[in-house]
Structure 1
Amino acid sequence: MNNTVKCHDDHTLDKYLFPFVYGTVMVISIPINCISLYVSCIQVRKKNELAVYLFSLSLADLLYSVILPLWIDYAWNGDNWTLSARLCQFSAFLTYMNFYTSTAFLACISLDRYLALVHPLKFQHLRTRRISLIVSIIVWLLEGTFNSVILMNKEVFNDPCNSTNHILCYDKYPLEWWQAQLNLFRICSGYLLPLAIILFCYHKIYQAVRCNQATVNEEKKKIRKLILNITVSFIICFTPYHVVLLIRSIKEPQTSNLQLLQSMYKIYRITQAFTSLNCIADPILYCFVSETARTDILNLLRCCLYLQKPEGNQPEEHALCSSVTKSNALVTYRSSCETETL
């Protein structure tokens, strides 16, 4: 009872930090993920198996980005959900779908690059557009089924701190035992396993490139930098959140001190907000670094600019767009043999 009386919640940080982070992510993430979807579609039509994973990754990031206004409203009200309970369920569902479909597809991309660069001939039958499509569908179905538990339960709760009348959406404190067990499963299957796959694959890729006498030192340096950026990005975006989630899942079911629980919940919310940076990092590191992707984006801009000119020039404009698209096939073929796209 004393813990409850002393409980006090200051929502100033929530009101300003989260809208700033989520707003920044939303403004940047939506356009660049739309571009990434466009580039991926082009490459899927050219039977590029990697593009299937990139398309799914961009789609997951885009779906999360478009619901960020709901989380901005939640944070602006000091972690007080003022919308419908069903909308809370839907927002939480898409949030966790993004977290764990993203980590799954990042692992798939790493594995595909590992097979392409370390075992280019041995596992060609596993690197087809059909296999990538099947794997992607399985990932979406598994994550959708697993996270559907969010849609089946009440996900709005009264804040246990009696100095506030706030309604919490999905994440609450203290965690119940079954929620803690669910989180431990998420940490192992949705974070640790993909992280292990990514570290293994990029370590092997780096070793293969380093020992390849045909690859010049400048190219090796570029590959090493890209591998480092991808790995660090994954760790920065997802590790703090899952470390705090692990601590909460172990300690909260056994703790009754509301002040301690509230402090832990604050840290958890901050790390959760910064996972959204993943929606910006993904298209930059996995799409825009590719020469083929940059060429496709440039072609799109050229076509859009030319089509806005007077009608008298349109036949020539369409011819240019057509020739640019045809020349892109050569670029695609060449880039598929390069080690730049990891």
Structure 2
Amino acid sequence: MSLNNTTDCFIDHDLDQFVFPLVYITVIVISIPANSLSLYVSYKHIKRGNELGIYLFNLSVADLLYTLTLPLWVDYSLQHDNWKHGHHLCKLSSFLMYTNFYTSAAFLCCISIDRYLAVVYPLRFYVLRKVKTAIYASGLIWAIELSGNIIILWHEETHSDHSDHVLCYDKHPLEKWKAMFNCGRFFIGFLLPAMLMVFCCQRIYKAIKSNIATQDHDKIRIKKLLLSIVVAFLICFTPYHVVMLIRSITEPQMCEVAKRLFVPYKITMALSSFNCIADTFLYSFVSESARTDMLNAVLIFKKKPKQSSGLKDVNATTVEKEG
């Protein structure tokens, strides 16, 4: 295994053995079936010409790719942060983790902007809400995020500490190049999408509150969608990015700071993995047809043809293009 110089700090890795496996196994068990189901539902929406299906499909793909790397992180944690899978898999796992973080943020932002245009300007900017536009936007997001995170594949990400553990993307204290890179991630990958989401959600809320033409049940559904987007983003990503920014500003070349921030850094990283589960709940509030499709798929999976066929009849009367 290729390793670079030994890290400078002695870090107690016992926390990882208890916290991470439980969190990651929970995410794996729920995320794989939930996001697989989400792929099916979003595909049906794409076939109906609903641009939201494009963003939700890509969101599920990003979540599944990250979830498939979690067994490696479970083993890493059970081994007291001792990576045994080679430096190439370390790079790939780290690359997919951060790609998931920022593609998820970008696609949640796209959903917010799409709903903003649909509610606040229903008769304008229609071209921005076409399926083709959503495909182009999604392709651009993947291109930007993949190229932005490719620096992880260039640098050596396995390090040996004083206890001869092989650490994966966990050098303490933080290296200067990584601290600068993290600051860029915070402002461009986290803060900018967060500001756009809050702006869009606030404008949408004001628009539906004052619009007497919108039915009450539609207002409630839209409010729940907005709330789920904001809550999923803020709970899953904000704690980690706040700690990451503090680390990046204060930690480089300072071992004592690295020791103090290790526990909150690890806990918030574990928390961020729950975005793979939280994203799937968006389907419940996108539209009536999305909710029905999700329920139909679950019933088909359970092999209950009578209930499933009955729900299909209901779905046939409720299918509509959202927007």
* TM-score, normalising length: structure 2: 0.90
Query: What is the aligned partner in structure 2 of residue 313 from structure 1?
Result: none
- How many residues are paired up? 316
Q: Residue by residue, what CA displacement relative to the aligned partner does 1:38-75 show, whole Å, maximum 9, x if unpaired?
A: 00011111111110000000110111111100000111
Q: Is the 8 A contact 2:41 2:294 kept in 1?
A: yes
Aligned-residue identity in percent: 48
CA distance in 2, matches of 1:146, 1:219: 38
Taking a change above 3 Å as real, the CA distance of residues 328 and 216 of structure 1, as seen in their structure-2 partners, is: closer
CA distance in 2, matches of 1:171, 1:9: 10
Alignment-mate amino acid for residue 36 of structure 2: C
Which entry has the higher C-alpha Rg, 1 or 2?
A: 1
1:13 maps to which of 7, 12, 15: 15
2:55 maps to which of 53, 57, 64: 53
Query: What is the aligned partner in structure 1 of residue 267 from structure 2?
Result: 270
Query: What is the aligned partner in structure 2 of residue 288 from structure 1?
Result: 284
Query: What is the aligned partner in structure 1 of residue 194 from structure 2?
Result: 195
1:72 maps to which of 60, 71, 74: 74
CA distance in 2, matches of 1:30, 1:306: 19
Which structure 1 segments of 5+ residues have no match? 310-316, 338-342
Query: Is 2:318 aligned against 1:331?
Result: yes
Q: Is the 8 A contact 2:174 2:258 kept in 1?
A: no
Q: CA RMSD in A?
A: 2.6
Taking a change above 3 Å as real, the CA distance of residues 141 and 262 of structure 1, as seen in their structure-2 partners, is: same
Of residues 260-269 and 145-154 in structure 1, the stretch that sits farther from structure 2 once superposed is 260-269
Q: Residue by residue, what CA displacement relative to the aligned partner does 1:237-287 show, whole Å, maximum 9, x if unpaired?
A: 11110011101111122x43x243122123212111110011111111x11
Alignment-mate amino acid for residue 278 of structure 1: N
Give the deviation of 1:216 after TM superposition: 4.8
Taking a change above 3 Å as real, the CA distance of residues 219 and 138 of structure 1, as seen in their structure-2 partners, is: closer
Of residues 184-193 and 294-303 in structure 1, the stretch that sits farther from structure 2 once superposed is 294-303
CA distance in 2, matches of 1:184, 1:115: 31
Alignment-mate amino acid for residue 288 of structure 1: S
Alignment-mate amino acid for residue 266 of structure 1: V
CA distance in 2, matches of 1:229, 1:305: 27
Alignment-mate amino acid for residue 336 of structure 1: E
CA distance in 1, matches of 2:35, 2:228: 19
CA distance in 2, matches of 1:196, 1:184: 16
Query: What is the aligned partner in structure 2 of residue 299 from structure 1?
Result: 296
* TM-score, normalising length: structure 1: 0.85
Query: What is the aligned partner in structure 2 of residue 279 from structure 1?
Result: 276
Alignment-mate amino acid for residue 228 of structure 1: L
Query: What is the aligned partner in structure 1 of residue 3 from structure 2?
Result: none
Alignment-mate amino acid for residue 262 of structure 2: Y
SS in 2 for 1:215: coil
Of residues 264-273 and 17-26 in structure 1, the stretch that sits farther from structure 2 once superposed is 264-273
